[in-house]
Structure 1
Amino acid sequence: MITIIPKPTDIPSDNSTRMVMDELDRMGERYQALFLEAIDPFSCGLERETIWACGIRQNGHNFETLSALALHNRVINPPEGIVTCASKVKTSALLMKDDVPTPETFFTESRYLAGEFIKKHGKAVSKPVYGFDGVGIVLVESEEQLGEPPYYLQEYIPNDRDFRVFVIDGEAVGAIMRVSDSLTHNIHQGGCGSAVPITPEINDIASRATKSAGVDYGGVDLLIHGDTYTVLEVNGTPNWHCMEAPIPRLLAEYLVEQRKIEKQ
């Protein structure tokens, strides 16, 4: 049986967990939904099972519980991968380590050094280390515009669009272009999304990004940079707004496949 950890941010009009459960229902597959807050990993009886964590709260309890469950079960996505994707600093470090194109990035507690990075580029994009949905991302042109440390800064790459690519098991299965008049093009920030074809280049860079982050599936955000793409971040608990690809069905099939492998 597949055990499902529902996404804490699901709402009736945007319920990622329910979409995948509906597909499992159509496939005649058995599953159970459990909340991490109600699971004692030492006595819950879960062993050699497949656990899908659609999302977790960014707190110690959820991460530790999922990590303990991962010792004896196949957890998708792995807790380490979810936490890696939640941290822009670690994601950037891994992308650079694996030579995956990503904007020049700077991380410091020093306002002065952050200011020097801004001077070097003329302007920079400031992001919260543990942000989501495009919240808190601002363009800064001087040290005086910086908030409180630490400072996670990236070079500013002018654009009027970005791309969200959905990857499952190393293969890009859906992609959208997000367009807006603002700095970020996130759908939650007013961006408009439309499906686009997956080119070999998009497939390659998005696949490499999820491999670096250590996730079975993920949403990879890309910008056009010159004649190629660069990776902004990898989302370990992504939504699939505006995608034409049947993502819930593909995720359900992947979970069933992984459950069969786990039981062998």
Structure 2
Amino acid sequence: MLRLAVTTTAETFHRLREPLADRGIAAAHLQAKERAIPLTDDAVAATPAADDDTAVTEFDVGLVYPGRLMEGAAITAGLDIPWVNGREAVLTSRNKSGVLAALDAADIPVPHSVMLSNPVAESAVVDAVAELSFPVVVKPNSATRGVGVAKASDIDSLLGVVDYLDLIHDFRATGDKSYLIQEYLPDARDYRAMVIDGDCVGGVQRRLPDDLAEGRWKHNVHRGAEATGVDLPDAHRQRAERAAATLDIPYLGVDLLATDERLVVNETNARPTIDTADKYDDGFYDRLAERIRETAENRS
């Protein structure tokens, strides 16, 4: 069987293990953080599989490049494996401002956005939102899972949020000193479309349950939202496919916001969580298995 390294032990790992095993791919956990990583040996130290004591020392292919890029470089050098979505794909998707700029240049609708690169004067922030209507959304450029995302209802609230970002960016060790300010789309429906090798293979709509919805607006699953499988309209599928093609990422989660008048790509994720199979199109795991095999076969 093809040996697949998976660098997460969360829901994705447990959901994909059995379906991929049925297709000749043995998935095992590769711990890429919170451990000692040998740098001068011929191989990375053995890592136990997620649910037993079996030591896994060799892999044929990985899904996907570790989220911590420094550890990922050491792990990859030690194992010498190709990744479904390598370092460049993860870097591309993680840079929210770069994604939005690339998609806008390709005439793919995105929210009206501006990136601020600290340090900037307060007047620069005020000028940056001159063409936007409040409320606006403020978000770190490279964070995930909705971490640090805030909504500002007026200029004073916005400058208050920016003050906190300035404090974080003042630390010399902070690598990314940028953030985005975006238009807020009220009552937008939030979708995650999954794209594999250029084809949308289904998606989910993310909603807050009734007991959490009052006064809240974020739809991140990690913040309590529920992902419900939906039959995505053709327009949503085509927009997600165009986004993946523009970014040249073979396996991509594309976040869409839809109102009655607009459909925009809000973010992308090259390390997407895999939901239960019934929330995707028939053949989802066949397509995923094919992408994994092709990655292994095309290694340089």
TM-score, with length taken from structure 2: 0.72
Q: What is the Cα-based RMSD across aligned positions, in Å?
A: 3.1
CA distance, structure 2, for counterparts of residue 156 and residue 40 of structure 1: 46
Change (3 A) 1:190 1:34: closer
Change (3 A) 1:133 1:73: same
Give the Å deviation of 1:146: 2.4
Give the Å deviation of 1:122: 2.5
Question: Counterparts of 1:180-195 in structure 2 under 5 Å?
Answer: 180=208, 181=213, 182-195=216-229
Change (3 A) 1:136 1:189: same
CA distance, structure 2, for counterparts of residue 133 and residue 202 of structure 1: 22
CA distance, structure 1, for counterparts of residue 41 and residue 93 of structure 2: 27
What secondary structure is seen at the aligned counterpart in 1 of 2:131? Answer: helix
Give the Å deviation of 1:20: 2.5
The answer to whether 1:94 aligns with 2:102 is yes
Change (3 A) 1:239 1:216: same
Partner of 1:167: 195
- State the number of aligned residues: 254
Larger Rg: 2
Is the contact between residue 50 and residue 75 of structure 1 (CA under 8 Å) also seen in structure 2?
no
AA at the equivalent of 1:175: G
CA distance, structure 1, for counterparts of residue 41 and residue 84 of structure 2: 19
Partner of 1:210: 244
Change (3 A) 1:244 1:85: same
What secondary structure is seen at the aligned counterpart in 1 of 2:66? Answer: coil
The answer to whether 1:19 aligns with 2:15 is yes
Partner of 1:155: 183
Give the Å deviation of 1:220: 0.5
Give the Å deviation of 1:7: 2.8
Give the Å deviation of 1:98: 2.1
Is the contact between residue 62 and residue 81 of structure 2 (CA under 8 Å) also seen in structure 1?
no
AA at the equivalent of 1:173: V
Question: Counterparts of 1:1-264 in structure 2 under 5 Å?
Answer: 2-8=2-8, 10-11=9-10, 14=11, 16-29=12-25, 34-36=30-32, 38=37, 43-44=42-43, 51-62=61-72, 64-65=73-74, 74-108=82-116, 109=118, 110=120, 111-123=122-134, 124-140=136-152, 141-142=154-155, 143-147=158-162, 148-149=165-166, 150-180=178-208, 181=213, 182-241=216-275, 244-245=279-280, 247-248=284-285, 250-259=287-296, 261-262=297-298
CA distance, structure 2, for counterparts of residue 52 and residue 106 of structure 1: 35
What secondary structure is seen at the aligned counterpart in 2 of 1:201? Answer: helix
Give the Å deviation of 1:78: 2.2
Partner of 2:171: none
What secondary structure is seen at the aligned counterpart in 2 of 1:115? Answer: helix
* Structure 1: unaligned runs, 5 residues or longer: none
CA distance, structure 2, for counterparts of residue 50 and residue 137 of structure 1: 38
Give the Å deviation of 1:175: 1.2
CA distance, structure 1, for counterparts of residue 249 and residue 133 of structure 2: 35
> Deviation per CA, 1:133-166, whole angstroms, max 9, x where unpaired?
1222111121433232433111111124211101
> Deviation per CA, 1:114-144, whole angstroms, max 9, x where unpaired?
2233343232110111221122211112143
Give the Å deviation of 1:232: 0.4
AA at the equivalent of 2:195: V
Give the Å deviation of 1:34: 4.0
AA at the equivalent of 2:279: E
Give the Å deviation of 1:231: 0.3
CA distance, structure 2, for counterparts of residue 67 and residue 202 of structure 1: 35
